[in-house]
Amino acid sequence: MLTLLALEAAGEKPVLVAPDLPQDRTVDHLTGDAVPDERRGVLRESARLARGRIEPLSAVRPDDLEALIIPGGYGPVVNFSIGFARLQETRRIIPEVEAFVGHFLQSRKPVGLIGLGEVPARSLLGQELEMAPPPADPRLIAVDRQRRIAHTPGLAGFTRLRDVLAGIEAMVAEVLGMIEERGREESASRAGRDAR
């Protein structure tokens, strides 16, 4: 919800997407225990959190989007992959998610990551996860300009919601700046081709 708040405050109209598949695990968030006899769907749970404003991943073309933001928490980690945090299981990203996220990484479209939302992207890039200590100022985010990736630790690094929001707002601002930069580069490239 903080990500939606930051995007809307920046004047954006986000498109929310989630894969339509069963959750790998259902957790009782009061106790933290797994609830093995309760099954939930990722799309339905996402719709509950997003108040119904969500599309199935299969219905959205990544070509039509300018950037991608993956929220934090265990949801993206557990539900976008198979074998996460399970002993002796190979972890791999679900093919539908791999294709969607991979589009943004390969085309160098801006990607914003919050907390553990970085796991799918880092996995696809073949990068090791490094849990760096959170910055003293939550507005200081990690930016990979070459790949156009911005990351804030979210609740994985901060406990106060105002700090989490400040980091998310800084990440959103960075992603929006990257969109503008990419647009300028594409315009210059088109102008160069037209001049030939």
Residue-wise pLDDT for 39-61, tens only, equals: 778 888 888 888 878 999 999 99
pLDDT in tens, 64-105: 999 999 998 877 777 888 766 666 667 788 899 999 999 999
Give the residue-averaged pLDDT of 17-29.
Answer: 79
3-state secondary structure of 93: strand
Rounded to an integer, the average pLDDT of 163-175 is: 97
Of 107, 22, 19, 32, nearest in space to 70 by CA: 19
Predicted pLDDT of residue 87? 63
In this predicted model, what pLDDT tens digit does every residue of 98-113 receive, in sequence order?
999 999 999 999 999 9
pLDDT at residue 114, as a whole number:
96
Q: Is the predicted pLDDT of residue 27 greater than 90, yes or no?
A: no
Give one DSSP letter per residue of the chain, joined into a string: -HHHHHHHHTT--PPPEE--SB-S--B-TTT--B-TT---BHHHHHHHHTTT--EEGGGS-GGG-S-EEE--SHHHHHHSEESTT-TT---EE-HHHHHHHHHHHHTT--EEEEGGGHHHHHHHTTPPP--PPPPSSTT--EEETTTTEEEE-GGGT-SSHHHHHHHHHHHHHHHHHHHHHHHHHHHHHHHHHHH-
Assess whether pLDDT exceeds 70 at residue 122: yes
Where residue 165 falls among pLDDT bands split at 50, 70, 90? very high
pLDDT of the residue at 50: 81
pLDDT band at 142 (very low <50, low <70, confident <90, very high): very high
Q: What pLDDT sits at residue 128?
A: 80
| pTM, 2 dp | 0.87
Task: Decide yes or no: CATH 3.40.50.880 for domain 2-195.
Answer: yes
Q: Is residue 138 very low, low, confident or very high in pLDDT (cuts 50, 70, 90)?
A: very high
pLDDT tens for each residue of 148-157: 999 999 998 9
